[in-house]
Chain A
């Protein structure tokens, strides 16, 4: 019996190891093969090179001279720039609005709270494509030209939910005795909020903002529908590249994106989970 139990335990641990391998080995593979010098068959190793990174970053290389590969570093740079601009704007708006609604739902009792909660969870459940086309129809009917502005508005509709969830979690775990103490000691409501509530809430807000930033940077589906013809974001650029055919520079771009996401998201998740 004991042998069977430990056997079961061992196989469960083995299974879990495989589970993590399934998640992370593909990411490791792309990191390794982004240094592969084989320009045609990217998964057949022919040698080490940093050529692809150099090209993406716009350095002159032997291959770019032959104009065989990345057609336009300019387009790529423009896409990255657009993505950053959009993410900065959406993060600002979504953080303010998402924090406001989280405080309203956790600190006030009013008719329709349940309705608001359901609305806040709707964008997370709804398939992206539905929101994407709904926004497209809406903007076109309203006569708004598609572009940066519509992307920013469209992304905010679901980013508010993410910020709301992170800040709510923070609010739910907060110790209210400090607020009562502050009130008892004569601080008015505003002072209590500014000096007691807000500092406790801040990690949640920053965490939510970082996650919103990274989700905005990575959003493909909704942006794809409401971007119009002139604006391209980084995920759209890669999507288009994939549809045309894969070139080795994509590996380098992918690895840089992964690294960036990992750093920002780790920070955001750390701030979200940090306990007082």
Chain B
């Protein structure tokens, strides 16, 4: 081996070694341990028994441990409702972002960059603060109710907070940058000559939208949908703040298993459900958009 090749090797080792070790131990390691834990039996006082136990998943999917508990469909119900709320969040975020992406993509370079900056900026401000503002706006003595009561539109305060709607609103608010960026990327690449050609050839605006614009921007929509859906599904802060005690989502349930019920194996199994949904979605995304999709998504 030439000395140059050897030097390159040594440099690479020096660059990659520490970070590989760090991520192997503190990132991949914990994930592996969590997977193992999800198959272990819960101990009596919040610990873990090192025996194979498949009933953590059974409690969710319908085959409970006959020794301890009956199957309770409440977990699958929470799972389904979390899927529903996440799906509605994706749709609502798309509706909010999609038209704006078109408008911004037609601006001059300077304004474009400024608008993108304004959209990214909130992502770097405190999540908890941004959600807290919505508590002030929506709660019983909040701004919306105060205004509506004072103007006489309503006689009694509306119940706005602690509803599914409030959770979706909060999620939309925090996930706008996640949806906007991929959607914008594909809208900006849109070839407008195709749109003009379609209109010239006599297709109406609706048909042009459905047959030309929508398919061409679909990759961005799909990308945005995936990266909004996944964190929405596991989110526990939004339901904790805007959902009150009434609206339980997977994230709250997992938090409860770890910090209150102290059933870590069951909590891990629930987290694995989230991971499974994530893997299925990513897999679907890869199948649909191919290798180029991954490379585009990971910035190459």
Q: How far is the CB of B49 from chain A (nearest CB, A)?
A: 14
A133 touches B34 (CB 8 A): yes
Q: Which residue of A lies closest to B235 (CB)?
A: A127
Which of A27, A30, A101, A117 lies in contact with B16, CB distance below 8 A?
A: A101
Q: Which residues of A contact B137 (CB under 8 A)?
A: 26, 29, 43
A123 to chain B: closest residue by CB: B27
Bound-complex Cα distance A31 to B163 (A): 26
Cα-based distance from A103 to B16 in the complex (angstroms): 9
Q: Which of A96-114 contact B (CB under 8 A)?
A: 97-98, 100-101, 103-104, 108, 110
- Complex Cα–Cα for A189 and B14 (A): 15
Given A26-B134, A43-B146, A118-B298, A258 and B264 touching (CB < 8 A)? Answer: no
A137 and B34 contacting across the interface, CB-CB below 8 Å: yes
Q: Please, how many angstroms separate the alpha-carbon atoms of A41 and B143 in the complex? A: 10
The answer to whether B130 touches A134, judged by C-beta atoms less than 8 angstroms apart, is no
User: Among the listed A103, A131, A250, which residue makes an inter-chain contact with B15, where contact means beta carbons less than 8 Å apart?
Assistant: A103
Interface: A197 (CB within 8 A): no
Q: Say yes or no: is A235 at the interface (Cβ < 8 Å to chain B).
A: yes
User: What chain B residues lie within 8 Å of A189 (beta carbons)?
Assistant: 7
Residues from chain B with Cβ under 8 Å of A238 in the complex:
126, 128-129, 132
Evaluate contact between A23 and B143: CB separation under 8 angstroms. no
Q: In the bound complex, what is the Cα–Cα distance between A121 and B299 (angstroms)? A: 10
> Please, how many angstroms separate the alpha-carbon atoms of A141 and B235 in the complex?
25
Contacts of A271 in B (CB 8 A): none
Give the chain A neighbours of B195 by CB distance below 8 A. Answer: none
Contact of B300 with A by CB under 8 A: yes
Chain B residue numbers with a CB within 8 Å of A156 are 22, 26
List the B side residues contacting A12 at CB < 8 Å.
99, 102-103
Interchain nearest-CB distance for B256 vs A (Å): 11
Main secondary structure of the interface of B (DSSP, over half): helix
| In the assembled complex, A178 has its CB within 8 A of some CB on chain B | no
Q: Which of B55-63, B67-75, B270-278 lines the interface with chain A? A: B270-278
Interface-facing stretch out of B113-121, B186-194, B213-221:
B113-121
- CB of B80 within 8 Å of the partner chain: no
Instruction: List residues of chain B with CB within 8 A of the CB of A261.
Output: 124-126
Which parts of B1-43 form the interface with A (CB within 8 Å)? Answer: 7-8, 11-12, 15-16, 18-19, 22-23, 26-31, 33-34, 37
The interface bits of chain A over 219-243 (1 if a CB of B lies within 8 angstroms of the residue's CB, else 0) are 0110001000000000100110011
Q: How many interface residues does A have (CB within 8 Å)?
A: 85
Counting chain B CB atoms within 10 Å of each CB, the highest count among A23, A215, A266 belongs to: A23
Asked if A235 contacts B103 (CB within 8 A), the reply is: no
- The 0/1 profile, CB within 8 Å of A marked 1, for residues 280-291 of chain B is 001000000000
CB distance B127 to A133 under 8 Å?
Answer: no
* A141 CB contacts on chain B under 8 angstroms: 33
User: Smallest distance from the beta carbon of A134 to chain B beta carbons, Å?
Assistant: 4
Cβ–Cβ < 8 Å partners of B259 in chain A? 225
Question: Is the CB–CB distance between B282 and A125 below 8 Å?
Answer: yes
The one of B11, B34, B255 in contact with A134, judged by C-beta atoms closer than 8 angstroms, is B34
Residue count of chain B within 8 Å CB distance of chain A: 81
B168 adjacent to chain A (CB < 8 Å): no
Q: A138: shortest Cβ distance to chain B, in Å?
A: 4
- Given A100-B16, A134-B34, A242-B128, verify A127-B274 contact (CB < 8 Å): yes
Within the complex, which residue of B96, B127, B227 is in contact with A22, where a contact is CB–CB below 8 Å?
B96
- Given A23-B122, A137-B268, A125 contacting B255 (CB threshold 8 A): no
A187 interface residue per 8 A CB criterion: no
- Docked complex Cα distance between A101 and B24 (Å): 14
Q: Describe A's contact surface by its main secondary structure.
A: helix
Q: Is the C-beta of B136 less than 8 angstroms from some C-beta in chain A?
A: yes
Contacts of B275 in A (CB 8 A): 126, 130
Q: Are A23 and B124 in contact (CB-based, < 8 A)? A: no
B278 close to A127 (CB less than 8 A):
yes
The answer to whether A43 and B128 touch across the interface, beta carbons within 8 angstroms, is: no
Complexed CA–CA distance, A239 and B238 (Å): 11
**Are B129 and A258 closer than 8 Å at their CB atoms?**
yes
Q: Does A92 contact B (CB under 8 A)?
A: no
Nearest CB on A from B7, distance (A): 8
B133 touches A137 (CB 8 A): no
Complex interface bits, B254-269 against A, C-beta within 8 A gives 1, otherwise 0: 1100110000100110
Contact, CB under 8 Å: A138 / B16: no
* Interchain CA distance A187-B251 in the complex, whole Å: 55
Which chain A residues border B185 with CB–CB below 8 Å?
Answer: none
Residues of A within 8 A of B264 (CB): 133, 137
Contact A130 to B274, CB < 8 A, known contacts A43-B146, A110-B12 = yes
* B100–A101 CB distance below 8 A: no
Name 15 extra pairs, CB < 8 A, besides A15-B103, A168-B299.
Answer: A27-B125, A33-B136, A100-B16, A101-B19, A118-B294, A125-B231, A129-B254, A157-B27, A160-B19, A214-B124, A235-B126, A238-B126, A238-B129, A258-B125, A265-B125
Q: Could you list 29 examples of A-B contacts with CB < 8 Å?
A: A19-B99, A22-B96, A23-B122, A23-B176, A27-B133, A104-B15, A104-B16, A108-B12, A117-B298, A123-B27, A125-B278, A129-B236, A130-B275, A133-B34, A133-B268, A134-B30, A134-B34, A137-B30, A160-B19, A169-B299, A220-B237, A235-B127, A242-B241, A243-B240, A261-B125, A264-B124, A265-B124, A266-B121, A273-B113
